[in-house]
Amino acid sequence: GEEVAQTPKHLVRGEGQKAKLYCAPIKGHSYVFWYQQVLKNEFKFLISFQNENVFDETGMPKERFSAKCLPNSPCSLEIQATKLEDSAVYFCASSQSGLAGLYEQYFGPGTRLTVT
């Protein structure tokens, strides 16, 4: 598609429950990025993929967070045993690569996760 699609738009989970978020990148874009936007607008990079391969996972809290981008499927971000501090808006972005590196990143509308 021509836009990055994210589902669901809103997700409510009780503390300790699992949360799974999905992202369909723009067709033809080989890079996918996940960011977490917490209170006061602060963005935190979580993980990026080049096609189905993890490209950079330096931002991931590995003990509870995992992510995948499998061929012919939406990418996913999963949080096992959610905590209150996981409440945030999770954005997915995609980008295509060029000779000089990557082009700009295009963002999806986000998934708002509320942990109660």
User: Which residues are at the interface with another protein (CB under 8 A)?
Assistant: 31, 33, 35, 40-43, 45, 48, 55-56, 58-59, 91, 93, 95, 100-102, 104-110
CB of 37 to another protein, least distance (A): 9
> Closest CB to another protein among 41 and 72?
41
> Closest CB to another protein among 17 and 37?
37
> Closest CB to another protein among 56 and 78?
56
Neighbouring residues of 11: CB distance < 8 A, sequence distance ≥ 6? 19, 21, 111, 112, 113, 114
In sequence order, the β-bridge partners of residue 47 are 34
> Closest CB to another protein among 44 and 83?
44
CB of 16 to another protein, least distance (A): 28
CB of 82 to another protein, least distance (A): 22
CB of 15 to another protein, least distance (A): 25
- Compute the Cα dihedral for 28, 101, 4, 88 and give only its sign: positive
Q: What gap in Å lies between CA 96 and CA 27, rounded to an integer?
A: 9
Give the side-chain half-sphere CA count within 13 A for 101: 3
